Chain A
Amino acid sequence: RPFHVEPTNIVDVNDDMQRVTDEASAMNKRIHYYSRLTSPTDRALIAPDHVLPAPDEIYVYSPLGTAFKVDSCTDGYGKNSSIVTIFMIWNTMMGTSILSIPWGIKQAGFTSGIILILLMGILTLYCCYRVVKSQRMIPLLDTSNWEFPDVCKYYFGSFGQWSSLLFSMVSLVGAMIVYWVLMSNFLFNTGKFIYNFVHDINVTDIVPGTNGIICPSAASGHPPQNRSVMFYSGNSTGFELFEEWWSKSNTVPFYLIAVLLPLLNLKSPSFFAKFNVLGTVSVVYLVFLVTVKAVRLGIHLEYNWFTGNDFFVPEFRILFPQLTGVLTLAFFIHNCVITLLQNNRNQENNVRDLSIAYFLVGLTYLYVGVMIFASFPSPPLSKECIEQNFLDNFPSDDIMSFVARIFLLFQMMTVYPLLGYLARVQLLRQFFGNAYPSIFHVLVLNIAIVGAGVAMARFYPNIGGIIRYSGATCGLAFVFVYPSLIYVISLHRAGQLTWPALIIHILIILLGLANLVAQFLL
């Protein structure tokens, strides 16, 4: 989930509902009137602080970056303590990429995987720090309401605005497609589990497996299949019918349309923001699940530095850019970090809190990735078996992963309309000036997005792939290029550009470019 909207504060901007209380409106009139009774220099009837109403911040955040504040306050930022801010950043960054980290480590090699997680964490943290600082470095303008895309527009004009929109949409739509694929997967598995449980079918997958872990791709050599080859004891004809109507890539993605398309058309998804807590619960449960499984399975590691064997992968592999692609999206928060830090009570701790949050996120990813990778039972199975969604490595009758899938399914169903709302607001406002021009426009957009999700679920349900492509693309703009470029330009304008600074930041930009290119080449 790369985007996060303050839970209490999503309102429809076209609503005519009253934003200001009667008391506040009366006070407003009073203050206006009193100010006319004295000369401008006389401070006799200036309202003291204790009578002014608390700044009721109704705040609508759109990643393209208009942040609406109905009652703006220039100082006295926020009421959030450091702990809350850190938690919010952690919560926002923790996304579905956590499911692909073990696969990413496998693609990069164990040692290089760990090193890369640390390095990417530090690099993205530095770029995030640049994003936060960039808002402050603009001279002469009041940028307190600006988000990062506003800053881009300031430096790069209309090109900046449109390119921010494009890259924002890439990350949003990419996230939504990943969600659709995952939701189909989870719904399929949940349905299958329930069916098997209800009809008391004892299922043994005929795929290589041991001790509660299976290797779904080994049977046919390509991505997880639609139909599982399995032994079943029980009613066979009913089961075949069920398999036909409940298939991971053929039918289930379509069933989701009935549930989610109507939700996407809602004007204001603020209701769903209340389910924010499901995300945290899901991640905590995943960590718990990973710990339990690792304890049960034990550690299976073998260090082969550059060449692998049948069961193990080398420590350093040429496919490592796939991990960096995933990590770019895993550590992505650059388009809303300014907003999140704005509510920090002690602004001087912003950098410290951001670093702590990144550290905790990195730790969580590292823990999950390393645990799954290390405990994957390698003598019978090969490490290559680790799936792009590590939950696929658990057989369909495993209870713990069933519970995890249900949590994640519900959580994603509540975040999906929020993502759709953000995409809609950005796109339609940019093109039509209005976030909800007509049900027709909105329906067309939603059908397009849903269609993309369904198509991916049908033909290319490799979430690792989708994550790394979209991550590298939007990361190129928001993580690597824009922050560095803006920093260099602002230094140049202030006459403070030094050679080392220039070289380092050009290197960062080149790294981002290389990241993107490598996704396609490797």
Chain B
Amino acid sequence: TYFASQVLLMGKSGSGKTSMRSIIFANYIARDTRRLGATIDVEHSHVRFLGNLVLNLWDCGGQDTFMENYFTSQRDNIFRNVEVLIYVFDVESRELEKDMHYYQSCLEAILQNSPDAKIFCLVHKMDLVQEDQRDLIFKEREEDLKRLSRPLECVCFRTSIWDETLYKAWSSIVYQLIPNVQQLEMNLRNFAQIIEADEVLLFERATFLVISHYQCKEQRDVHRFEKISNIIKQFKLSCSKLAASFQSMEVRNSNFAAFIDIFTSNTYVMVVMSDPSIPSAATLINIRNARKHFEKLERVDGPKHSLLMR
């Protein structure tokens, strides 16, 4: 049997994983909010990103004994070929001890089955904490988690779906999964300077998380990445209702021209030109030529999770 490399999204039942997945991957949630049972992702989710990474959700530590047993007996299968473990903690949880206990058992399983996995901990639902206490509480949790995770290393983020922290956390995670990201950035900068663009962004294809970007002057809106991502994901949802798939977009006015297009097999590119007199065709040709160059880059270092390399 074939086991694709996976990203595990784990956490207690009700910690917000399904909402998170839905938001990041633009998945339609068609379910009742008061779930009567835990999420049992028996069939692998069809969410793929960054090549052939598969995202799998598991509820960890539910009350359901059936879940417990299933979890224990299937442990080796669940934790095999894990590239990334993302563990979600609900900051409002009243059972910290238990949460840590389940977290540690997951870590044990990881150590046994996929010791090279990267570990990320998300302290989620931070909007429920008072603003002046957020840093304090997060620092506490982070210390505890780092301590408990030894010998493995974990990176912690504080997140909430109601501000930009979720998007930033996932962008950082994805950023760390790209094998040759520095080289990518350098090439992106060269590309941008050659075509005289104001800003060039590289998005991950499925999630529109920003992998890298180059800007040649200060931009006013710091939230623009998340906004663009949300806008395009919303547009993709609309397109899918018509059984159409989003491929590319050009936006123009008297002040600028922006192009969003498929780039490599894993990425989308967005090019912002502040000189609207440059004809679209010119920029599109430039993008097309750059595409070939970047594809080569991606293949050379070979994402180790690509099917072709096995």
Residues of A within 8 A of B (CB): 22-23, 25-27, 29-30, 32-34, 36-39, 42-45, 47-48, 50-51
Q: Which residues on the A side are within 8 Å of B220 (C-beta)?
A: 22
| B70 at the binding interface (Cβ < 8 Å) | no
Q: Of B115-123, B138-146, B157-165, B209-217, which binds chain A?
A: B157-165
Closest residue on chain B to residue A32 by CB atoms: B234
Task: List CB contacts (< 8 Å) of B105-155 with chain A.
Answer: 127-128
* Contact between chains at B32 and A29 (CB < 8 Å): no
Closest residue on chain B to residue A46 by CB atoms: B33
How many angstroms from the CA of A51 to the CA of B164 in the assembled complex? 12
How many angstroms from the CA of A30 to the CA of B231 in the assembled complex? 9
Known: A22-B223, A48-B162, A51-B127. Is A33-B230 also a contact (CB below 8 A)? yes
Sample (21) of A-B pairs whose CB atoms are under 8 Å apart? A22-B221, A22-B222, A26-B221, A26-B227, A29-B227, A29-B230, A30-B161, A33-B234, A34-B161, A36-B234, A37-B23, A37-B28, A37-B29, A37-B237, A38-B29, A42-B31, A45-B22, A47-B162, A51-B127, A51-B162, A51-B163
A36: contacting residue among B33, B128, B160, B237, CB under 8 A = B237
How many angstroms from the CA of A176 to the CA of B30 in the assembled complex? 63
Residues of B in contact, count (CB < 8 Å)? 30
A44-B33, A48-B162, A50-B127 are known; give 6 further A-B pairs, CB within 8 A: A25-B227, A37-B23, A38-B29, A42-B31, A45-B23, A51-B163
- In the assembled complex, the CB of B90 is this many whole angstroms from the nearest CB of chain A, namely 15
Known: A42-B32, A43-B33, A47-B162. Is A29-B237 also a contact (CB below 8 A)? no
- In the assembled complex, the CB of B282 is this many whole angstroms from the nearest CB of chain A, namely 30
Closest residue on chain B to residue A23 by CB atoms: B223
* Contact between chains at B164 and A37 (CB < 8 Å): no
Task: List CB contacts (< 8 Å) of B6-25 with chain A.
Answer: 19, 22-23
- In the assembled complex, the CB of A375 is this many whole angstroms from the nearest CB of chain B, namely 58
How many angstroms from the CA of A232 to the CA of B230 in the assembled complex? 82
Q: Which residues on the B side are within 8 Å of A38 (C-beta)?
A: 22, 28-30
How many angstroms from the CA of A280 to the CA of B161 in the assembled complex? 48
Task: List CB contacts (< 8 Å) of B195-252 with chain A.
Answer: 220-223, 226-227, 230-231, 233-234, 237-238
Chain A proximity mask over B186-199: 1 for CB below 8 Å, otherwise 0: 00000000000000
* Contact between chains at A37 and B163 (CB < 8 Å): no
Q: Which residues on the B side are within 8 Å of A42 (C-beta)?
A: 29-33
| B27 at the binding interface (Cβ < 8 Å) | yes
- In the assembled complex, the CB of B91 is this many whole angstroms from the nearest CB of chain A, namely 14
Count chain B CB atoms within 10 A of each CB in A23, A33, A42 and give the residue with the most.
A33
Known: A22-B220, A22-B221, A22-B223. Is A33-B233 also a contact (CB below 8 A)? yes
Q: Which residues on the A side are within 8 Å of B28 (C-beta)?
A: 37-38
Known: A32-B230, A36-B237. Is A25-B29 also a contact (CB below 8 A)? no
- In the assembled complex, the CB of B163 is this many whole angstroms from the nearest CB of chain A, namely 7
- In the assembled complex, the CB of A110 is this many whole angstroms from the nearest CB of chain B, namely 62
Closest residue on chain A to residue B226 by CB atoms: A26
- In the assembled complex, the CB of B297 is this many whole angstroms from the nearest CB of chain A, namely 31
Q: Which 9 A-B pairs have the closest CB atoms?
A: A26-B223, A51-B162, A33-B230, A33-B234, A44-B33, A29-B227, A29-B230, A22-B221, A36-B237
Closest residue on chain B to residue A50 by CB atoms: B127
| B26 at the binding interface (Cβ < 8 Å) | yes
How many angstroms from the CA of A48 to the CA of B127 in the assembled complex? 10
* Contact between chains at B234 and A39 (CB < 8 Å): no
How many angstroms from the CA of A82 to the CA of B140 in the assembled complex? 44
